[in-house]
Amino acid sequence: MFLVLLIHAALALGVVAARSRLGRSSFAVGAFGPLSLLVWLITNGRSIADGIPHRETIGWVPSLDLVLDLRVDAYALVFLYVIAVAGICILLYAARYFGSDPKVGTFAGTMVLFGGAMVGLVAADHLLAMFLFWELTTITSYLLIGYSDQQESARSAALHAAMVTGGGGLALLAGMVMIGTESGTFTISEILANPPSGSAKMGIAWALVLIGAVTKSAQFPFHGWLPGAMAAPTPASAYLHSATMVKAGIFLVGRLAPAALMAATWWQPTVLSIGFVTMIIGGWQALRQNDLKLLLAYGTVSQLGFLFLLVGSGEAKLLYGGLALLVAHALFKATLFMVVGTIDHEAGTRDLRRLSGLRTSLPAVFWVAVLAAASMAALPLTFGFVAKEAAFDGLVKSGGGLVALASFASILTVVYTGRFLIGAFGRHHPGHEPATPLGPAPRNALVWAPIVLAAAAAVLGLVPGLVAPAIDAAVVASRATAKAGKLVLWPGLVPALGWSMVSLVIGSVLLWQNALVQRATDIVGSASRRLPSADGAFRRSVAGLLSFADRSSGLIQSGSLPRYIAIILLVAVFVPATALFRGGISGGSMPVGGLLEAILGLLIVGAAATLLFTTRRFAAVLLLGGVGYGVAGLFAVFGGPDLSLTQLLVETLVVALFALVLRYLPATFTPARFERTMRLVVAVAVAAFVFLGGLVAFSSRQAAPVSDRYVELSVPEAQGANVVNVILVDFRGFDTLGEITVLAIATLGVSGLVLPIVRSRRESP
């Protein structure tokens, strides 16, 4: 299995590397990826279906418990078969669909990588490894959808898909981490064998996982991205919609539902409600589309809703029909997408109002479409019918009127399937310019790839026993229930048959009275346009986010340097201040201070306060000097004569320097005009923080000062009585070396800045 993943990765890279030489044959080369998967499935599938899961473990960072655990059981087998078969057909189809353009090779590589990620997602037995593959499908699908990067619509559709599924992925990751830490293992098979029990925390975790699956599988209210993803070239749409991407969410809920049911009582009703709402909304929207591809896309949304509730409910009898329907859906939906692609390729449009006369000009395509559409509408003798019977049978046994809801949604399915066929192959609508194929009908993969899939579906429809054992094994692997349902050509006179016949008949009548349906959808459609739609909500939230970002960055990054400094200072004050106040402030035994300190303090504060108001530069410099002298006095009070002397000396030098520079500057400051309040607030905040912080910090000393050793060793080790001097030149001599270096650099800077001025003054006095 690991080898299969490696083959996908290597093919993807190889195809991209050789894209200019391969051109559109890249797809044919890439098809070896799913082919290798198919070979693997055929060689290993029998023992897996017999109930012996295939396991592989590849150490990645074993010390961190990061191992790539692969485990393929019968449940995963169903998904893998679908991925392999659909993948081969679609890639070969794509090799004839595209023109010869090196860029196509990159697309082929992305598609192979996407397929490989899907395989990894299904085969991974470690939650985090599964998540990695999950995100890989998100990223590659973004690239696939946004392939036509010259088109604004393709770019925004890709972004929409990436943001919805990526956001859901984040929720999924959080849920997975919570589940993994709660159960003490990230190995999926162990979690399923020993699921964590219910608690408020686990409830949140499972809700997060559900959000991940709902976004990925385009369930209500996140279904908006899937129709948008139609911007992708048709082969990619076919792959994304039939076998992969959207099936990932179905796979996930089906895989984890047994554990989720143990912890969350709301799981089943929630999954059922989401599924039914999605089913009906998707079917309804499909009735209103004129673009064949969009019609199919909304049909996918509807079908996904059905699959989601069947597979995600965790009931063995529903899971059985769900898996059968999943296989059926992959076969007919991939076929129909390829049919649409061929029509688009030949006629140059997908607008069902314009297409005309395709039945005679593309006869093979027409019959393939009829075959697949019959399966989609679940006409008897098709595999779609067999699968839907199994699903309805499970719903009837679950009771609660579920089957009635599903039957209602099936009416919509019948009607939009009819619209698809009539629209694609019937006459153009009055008032629309007809579009018919120009050249002769193609005789390559554009035609035979859908034929292969449609034929496979037809065979399964007539001999459902071919696939029934695999489905049964999958249900056993997931829910340990054998014979949860049955796949038969003719179910006999059971309630399920009645329900599906009712939806078929009503659907056909509605299709016959098409004008009535159109009027109804128009009326409801114009009314529902005022309701908030998923797509509109997404666009508004993105626009809101951008305008919020614009406004906040405009506020913070205003270009005003004083404001930047103010923001930095406020953050620097408030972050530690919150910690300070959480700990509580106590001054401890801080002495007030002596008379000498008070006098010096008054002097300093007086000078500093005057500095605030003076507008004459020279006065300001003298006041700064005054503050410096006062501080020197305070140093002396605290027992630092060296400090005091240095400070006096340096302060004098600073005043002299200022005096040299001030000769050139105007005598007074321009009075500060703006932002006085802001300055005042920041200044007070900084001062208060320094005072309170000092109060706490100085009264919480616990260890003995390190300098005790300096005092002790000063005379015996360094032969010096002045400890401060000894520290500077001996104990911490390298610090002083650093200080000298700083001074040297500052000197270079000053001379570089000032000497040219001096020179120019000398030349032109």
Within 592-621, the residues that bind other proteins by CB under 8 A are: 592-594, 597-598, 600-601, 604-605, 608-609, 611-612, 617, 620-621
Using rule CB under 8 A, residue 677 touches other proteins:
no
Q: Which helix (H) or strand (E) is 59 found in, with range?
A: strand 54-61
Question: Phi and psi at residue 407, in whole multiples of 5°?
Answer: -65, -40
CB neighbours (10 Å) of residue 414? 24
Using rule CB under 8 A, residue 724 touches other proteins:
yes
Which region among 81-89, 388-396, 454-462, 633-641 touches other proteins (by CB under 8 A)?
633-641
Binds other proteins (CB under 8 A): choice among 66, 193, 404, 743: 743
- Stretch 147-176 residues interacting with other proteins (CB under 8 A): 148, 150-153, 156
d(CA 156, CA 639): 70
Using rule CB under 8 A, residue 586 touches other proteins:
no
- Stretch 544-583 residues interacting with other proteins (CB under 8 A): 546-547, 549-550, 553-555, 557-562, 565-566, 569
Using rule CB under 8 A, residue 758 touches other proteins:
no
Amino acid 710 reads: Y
Nearer Cβ to other proteins (516/711): 711
Using rule CB under 8 A, residue 643 touches other proteins:
yes
- Stretch 288-307 residues interacting with other proteins (CB under 8 A): 290-291, 293
Using rule CB under 8 A, residue 647 touches other proteins:
yes
Residue the block writes with tokens 């106040």 = 581
Question: Phi and psi at residue 480, in whole multiples of 5°?
Answer: 55, 35
Using rule CB under 8 A, residue 207 touches other proteins:
no
Binding residues for other proteins, rule CB under 8 A, total 134
- Stretch 63-92 residues interacting with other proteins (CB under 8 A): none
Binds other proteins (CB under 8 A): choice among 65, 101, 433, 717: 101
Residues ≥6 apart with Cβ < 8 Å to 279: 302, 303, 305, 306, 309, 405, 406, 409
The SS3 call for residue 54 is strand
Which region among 382-390, 391-399, 448-456, 590-598 touches other proteins (by CB under 8 A)?
590-598
The SS3 call for residue 291 is strand
Evaluate whether 563 touches 678 at the Cβ level (below 8 Å).
yes
Dihedral sign from CA coordinates of 402, 407, 408, 409: positive
Binds other proteins (CB under 8 A): choice among 360, 444, 513, 646: 646
Binds other proteins (CB under 8 A): choice among 199, 642, 667, 717: 642
Using rule CB under 8 A, residue 627 touches other proteins:
yes
Dihedral sign from CA coordinates of 413, 416, 422, 424: negative
d(CA 375, CA 459): 12
Nearer Cβ to other proteins (493/592): 592
Binds other proteins (CB under 8 A): choice among 36, 234, 268, 410: 234
Smallest distance from other proteins to CB 606, Å? 10
Q: Which two tokens stand for residue 163?
A: 């943001």
Using rule CB under 8 A, residue 650 touches other proteins:
yes
d(CA 475, CA 316): 6
Nearer Cβ to other proteins (232/403): 232
- Stretch 371-400 residues interacting with other proteins (CB under 8 A): none
Smallest distance from other proteins to CB 385, Å? 31
Q: Which helix (H) or strand (E) is 60 found in, with range?
A: strand 54-61
d(CA 415, CA 150): 36
Using rule CB under 8 A, residue 479 touches other proteins:
no
Binds other proteins (CB under 8 A): choice among 65, 433, 522, 735: 735
Quote the radius of gyration of the chain (alpha carbons, Å): 37
Using rule CB under 8 A, residue 342 touches other proteins:
no
Binds other proteins (CB under 8 A): choice among 199, 513, 586, 736: 736
Q: Which two tokens stand for residue 19?
A: 């894209």
Nearer Cβ to other proteins (342/478): 342
The SS3 call for residue 668 is strand
Using CB atoms within 10 Å of the CB of residue 500, give its burial: 0 to 12 exposed, 13 to 18 middle, 19+ buried.
Answer: buried
Using rule CB under 8 A, residue 683 touches other proteins:
yes
Q: Which helix (H) or strand (E) is 66 found in, with range?
A: strand 66-72
Nearer Cβ to other proteins (61/753): 753
Which region among 268-276, 302-310, 463-471, 672-680 touches other proteins (by CB under 8 A)?
672-680
Nearer Cβ to other proteins (579/672): 672
**Closest-CA residue to 121 (of 166, 170, 71, 167):** 71
- Stretch 528-547 residues interacting with other proteins (CB under 8 A): 539, 543, 546-547
d(CA 145, CA 719): 78
With b for 16 or more beta-carbon neighbours within 10 A and e for fewer, the 373-411 pattern comes to bbbbbbbbebbbbbbbbbbbbbbbbbeeebbebbbbbbb
Using rule CB under 8 A, residue 525 touches other proteins:
no
